[in-house]
Amino acid sequence: MEKELWRQSATELAGLIYSKRVSSREVVQAHLDRIDEVNGEINAVTVVLAEAALAAADRADTSELSGPLHGVPFTIKENIDCVGSATTHGVPALAEAMPTMDAPIVARMKAAGAIPLARTNLPEMGLRITTDNPLRGRTLNPWDPDRTCGGSSGGEAAALATGMTPIGLGNDIGGSLRNPAYCCGITSLKPSPGRIPHATTLPPRDGGISAQLMSVNGPMARCVTDLRVALGILAGRDPRDPVSVDAPLQLPEPASRKVALVTDVPGIELPAATVAAIRQAGDLLAAEGWAVEETQPPELERVTEIWAYLLTHDISEMMPALMELMSEGPLRSLNNLIARYQPSTMPGLQVHTERNRLCRLWSEFFTDYPAMIGPTWCDLPFLHDADIDEETGIDLVINTLRFITPGSVLGLPSVALPMGVADGLPTGVQVYADRWREDICLDTAEIIEKQRPPVWPPRG
């Protein structure tokens, strides 16, 4: 076979299993072997479900085709319910928190024939943009072990980047699908809120208003085709999530084929490699007939400010509970965020009025530019724990996320897409479109990806 099984995409593996060129057991075993080979160094996988995965693979090999990912293994972030393993949220107090039902996205992956292979790491309560916690330890970036792998779905991204899994499940309220995709050189889809359901059997079963408006589940992979297949599996209404909806995955073609390139973020000097990647993406689209224009979306600085206020309104009320769960450094960072964006300085009514105004302005922007391409992060992956430095951590986090925050607070879909390697680190872009236009994000990313194949870190 031309490529090792652990280097294949999820859809490639599904095709091999369907044609009986390989068995599901062979595929699962190849990934278990890969975990054994590299996870001791990277620490992306926290719990390996080897026995159950091999048994499921044997059933898949003797049963009829059950769905588009029949017999293909997948991994699950440790804040998503998967029966038989704990939903730890990366904190010791929840080390034995066993769900009684799969999360809707896990159940849907299983119904599509996919096989849970392992759980992956995250920061405490998913509240950092790096991946480290006192329960499981630090996940390393496979490109540079001194730099962050991103967070909070950092275990998923590092596992994908090194071939320990072909596809995985994460979530995002402040870039947690997109941050680690950028840092590790893989791709991810952050959907519109409501597109993919969320539910848990563990308390608290209902999140605050910031989670209701901004938190989403989504797929992570090494190619856009896998994201598209996963979206078709995961999307749709679930009664356990009152925000979730049934909505078409493919909508009419936009009236224009114009793409906005964002190469300048106010107050930030983007890395040269990032600007080059954005312009290269624009060139690839121009070659396919798109009209490409460098421009600015509305009020980027205000967008980040409203995102932060929306979070701190909830986090400030959650602090007594978080103090019982989290360690000193991340707690100090959250308190610094609250101090910077004091809820009392912007009442809830103003936050939500401003959010709605910005949503309207950006939707109007997308009528002129159906697709927008800009940075994922506004800086390179930082050195470990720079995000919780008492003096500079908050500025680093806010400035890094200045083009992440629009997707979260405005409810926009986004694909984080690798674009190559610069100075030993992956570089990439982020493809935005208006709400419910995941199809535009995926179509646009796929055009670019055809000319920019997946990247593998030195350990991969």
Q: Are 216 and 191 in contact (CB under 8 A)?
A: yes
Residue 253 lies in a domain: no
Which residues lie across from 74 on neighbouring strands? 116
266 exposed, middle or buried (CB, 10 Å; 0-12, 13-18, 19+)? exposed
Q: Return the pLDDT at 82.
A: 98
- To the nearest 10 degrees (0 to 180), the angle between helices 438-449 and 272-286 is 100
Q: Return the pLDDT at 246.
A: 98
Q: 220 and 306 share a domain?
A: no
- To the nearest 10 degrees (0 to 180), the angle between helices 24-42 and 50-61 is 160
Query: Rounded CA gap, 290 and 30, in Å?
Result: 41
Q: 72 and 216 share a domain?
A: yes
Q: 92 and 172 share a domain?
A: yes
Q: 230 and 271 share a domain?
A: no
Residue 49 lies in a domain: yes
For residue 437, pLDDT over 60 is answered with yes
For residue 304, pLDDT over 50 is answered with yes
pLDDT digits 0-9 by tens, 396-433: 999 999 999 999 999 999 999 999 999 999 999 999 99
For residue 99, pLDDT over 90 is answered with yes
Q: 225 and 264 share a domain?
A: no
Q: Return the pLDDT at 458.
A: 86
Burial track 65-104 (b if 16+ CB lie within 10 A, e otherwise): eebbbbbbbbbbbbbbbbbebbbbbbbeebeebebeebbb
Average pLDDT value for residue range 314-323: 97
Which residues lie across from 115 on neighbouring strands? 73
Residue 450 lies in a domain: no
pLDDT averaged over every residue in the chain: 97
Average pLDDT value for residue range 65-73: 97
For residue 155, pLDDT over 80 is answered with yes
Residue 442 lies in a domain: no
253 exposed, middle or buried (CB, 10 Å; 0-12, 13-18, 19+)? exposed
Catalytic residue among 152, 188, 408, 414: 152
For residue 1, pLDDT over 50 is answered with no
pLDDT digits 0-9 by tens, 320-332: 999 999 999 999 9
pLDDT digits 0-9 by tens, 350-379: 999 999 999 999 999 999 999 999 999 999
Query: Rounded CA gap, 387 and 357, in Å?
Result: 30
CATH number of the CATH domain containing 88: 3.90.1300.10
Residue 320 lies in a domain: yes
Q: 327 and 223 share a domain?
A: no
Q: 173 and 308 share a domain?
A: no
Q: 174 and 267 share a domain?
A: no
Residue 449 lies in a domain: no
Q: 272 and 197 share a domain?
A: no
- To the nearest 10 degrees (0 to 180), the angle between helices 24-42 and 154-161 is 110
Catalytic residue among 9, 85, 153, 176: 176
What domain range includes position 312? 258-413
Q: 270 and 224 share a domain?
A: no
For residue 116, pLDDT over 70 is answered with yes
Residue 241 lies in a domain: no
Work out the number of other CB atoms within 10 angstroms of the CB of residue 442. Answer: 23
Residue 399 lies in a domain: yes
Query: Rounded CA gap, 255 and 121, in Å?
Result: 42
For residue 87, pLDDT over 80 is answered with yes
Report the percentage of the chain scoring pLDDT > 90: 98
Average pLDDT value for residue range 296-308: 98
414 an active-site residue? no
Which residues lie across from 119 on neighbouring strands? 47, 76
Query: Rounded CA gap, 235 and 320, in Å?
Result: 35
Q: 53 and 131 share a domain?
A: yes
176 an active-site residue? yes
Catalytic residue among 9, 24, 77, 153: 77
For residue 232, pLDDT over 90 is answered with yes
Number of domains in the chain: 2
For residue 161, pLDDT over 60 is answered with yes
Q: Return the pLDDT at 407.
A: 98
pTM above 0.95, yes or no: yes
Q: 176 and 280 share a domain?
A: no
Last residue of a domain, one of 183, 199, 234: 234
pLDDT digits 0-9 by tens, 243-295: 999 999 999 999 889 999 999 999 999 999 999 999 999 999 999 999 999 99
For residue 205, pLDDT over 80 is answered with yes
408 an active-site residue? no
Average pLDDT value for residue range 176-180: 98
Q: Which two tokens stand for residue 396?
A: 């680093």
Q: Return the pLDDT at 2.
A: 64
Q: Return the pLDDT at 348.
A: 96
